[in-house]
Amino acid sequence: MDDETTGDLEWRQGWLLPPGPVLYLSGIVTFFLLLTWQINEYKEQLRRRTKAGFSVLLALGLLALVVLAHYALLDADGRLVVPTSWWPGGNQSDDGGGATSPWAVAAVVALLLVLASHKPSFQWLRPPFYRK
């Protein structure tokens, strides 16, 4: 009976720590779980910072529009200056200057085609050599 007890103790002493492969596997799994958690935290932080940056840029854009409108519509004395062509019945000259440039129309059409080609429902607009 004494031999069985001693043998049992030797077996138990070997299991004070788990075997090496179990420790390695546990470490790898823990590392990947930690990595996944860090990536999720990074994505959330990136989303919050992007939203904050967009808000700042929007505020700066609106401020720039206000400053430009102030300088464009007010003279040095602070009076409102509005071109006569904006008034009903003002500047009735028919010089043919109201036509749109064909280059401007071509630029708008090209921009619309580029924007539409990035939508999934407009895949047929992409060139045949374009692979995603």
Alpha helices in the chain (DSSP H): 2-14, 20-73, 102-117
Asked if 73 and 122 sit in the same domain, the reply is: no
Does residue 90 lie within any of the structural domains? no
Nearest in space to 109 (alpha carbons), one of 97, 117, 119: 117
Does residue 10 lie within any of the structural domains? no
Count how many domains the chain has: 2
Does residue 5 lie within any of the structural domains? no
Asked if 23 and 79 sit in the same domain, the reply is: yes
Structure pTM?
0.41
Does residue 64 lie within any of the structural domains? yes
**Integer Cα distance of 54 and 48 in angstroms:** 10
Residue-range definition of the domain harbouring residue 33: 15-83
Query: What is the pLDDT, as a whole number, of residue 25?
Result: 93
Convert the pLDDT of each residue in 68-95 to its tens digit: 888 888 887 878 777 666 666 655 555 5
Type of residue found at 46: L
